[in-house]
Amino acid sequence: MKKTYRGSCHCGAVRYEADIDLNKGSVKCNCSICTKMRNWLAMVKPEDFRLLRGEDELNDYQFGRKVIHHLFCRRCGVHPFGWADSPDFGGKAYAVNLACLDDATDEELAGMPVNYVDGRNDDWKTPPAEARHL
């Protein structure tokens, strides 16, 4: 069942709400930026994501095929969420950084299933051979 969570960057300039079903599972990926950021993400549809403030504080970082918008707060540097509009993600989708949720309990996060994906090889459907370090 979906529940509404509030998320923010570190300084609070960027705030959002997202309706997430934590039982549906999260994503950890081995691509170059997820590795460096240690990303732990929940994918949500546009209708389940609301940016409350801070649009002007967000910088957009893109690399490679420039499909995914890796947004970060220009004040504190934290990446509270990103988005992409691609068939790989079923159309437009937001990737919420679970580490930025302010009101998810430790128990809720600890119980969330993790789906590992092989982003390093542009394979979003198959887990990588090794994922224990992600």
Q: How far is the CB of 12 from Zn ion (least distance, A)?
A: 6
Per CB under 5 A, which region of 11-19, 27-35, 96-104, 107-115 contacts Zn ion?
Answer: 11-19
Residue 53 forms beta bridges with which residues? Answer: 15
Alpha-carbon gap, residue 52 to 11, rounded angstroms: 14
Residue number, 44 or 73, with CB nearest to Zn ion = 73
- Region 19-78 residues binding Zn ion, contact defined as CB under 5 A: 73, 75-76
Residue 57: closest CA among 39, 81, 33: 81
Residue number, 50 or 75, with CB nearest to Zn ion = 75
Residue 9: closest CA among 46, 66, 51: 51
Which residue in the block uniquely carries the two structure tokens 């002007």?
A: 56
On whether the CB atoms of residues 27 and 37 are closer than 8 A, the answer is no
Residue number, 11 or 33, with CB nearest to Zn ion = 11
Give yes or no for residue 11 binding Zn ion (CB under 5 A): yes
Binding residues (CB under 5 A) for Zn ion: these are: 9, 11, 13, 73, 75-76
